[in-house]
Amino acid sequence: MRICLDTSAYSAFKRGHPEAIDELRRAREIVLPPIVLGELLAGFRIGSRDRANRRELEAFLSSPRVRVSPIDAETAQRYAEIFSYLRERGTPIPTNDIWIGACAMQWGLRLLTTDSHFERLPQVSVLPLD
């Protein structure tokens, strides 16, 4: 299984959430959108464990099963599709999450997340964590 990791899922994994740990163990490939990387790094900077969190993230990223996905013109097309879909229905979600969904959609990945609003996106296969 190939999965796209949302910020909330990475956080759940680091907190020892059993289902998150199991899903990451089973994954053949784990993809982090650059937006997730940015959200994590920003959170680390404002927290009290910046250095330790960065080291843990670097170790995670060094796994041969983990990669950071690119964002390109195709990703932007997917973003526009999701954005307009949500706008037509009056069901907005955070902008960063639209980008994360666009990355998952572009690469045909299941999105591992604790955020239920991703389930509003029929364009994205969501793997929800409780």
Domains of the chain: 2-128 (3.40.50.1010)
Instruction: Tell me the CA distances in angstroms from 89 to 14, 73, 92, 102, 126, one per residue in order.
Output: 35, 25, 8, 18, 19
pLDDT tens, residue by residue, 82-129:
999 999 999 999 999 999 999 999 999 999 999 999 999 999 999 999
Residue with tokens 């964590």: 129
Does the pLDDT of residue 130 top 90, yes or no?
no
CA distances from 130 to 8, 49, 53, 74, 127 (A): 11, 26, 24, 31, 10
- Determine the average pLDDT of the residues in 50-73: 97
Task: Map residue 34 onto helix, strand or coil.
Answer: helix
3-state secondary structure of 1: coil
Q: For residue 121, with 0-12 CB atoms within 10 Å meaning exposed, 13-18 middle and 19 or more buried, which class applies?
A: buried
Position 36 pLDDT exceeds 90 = yes
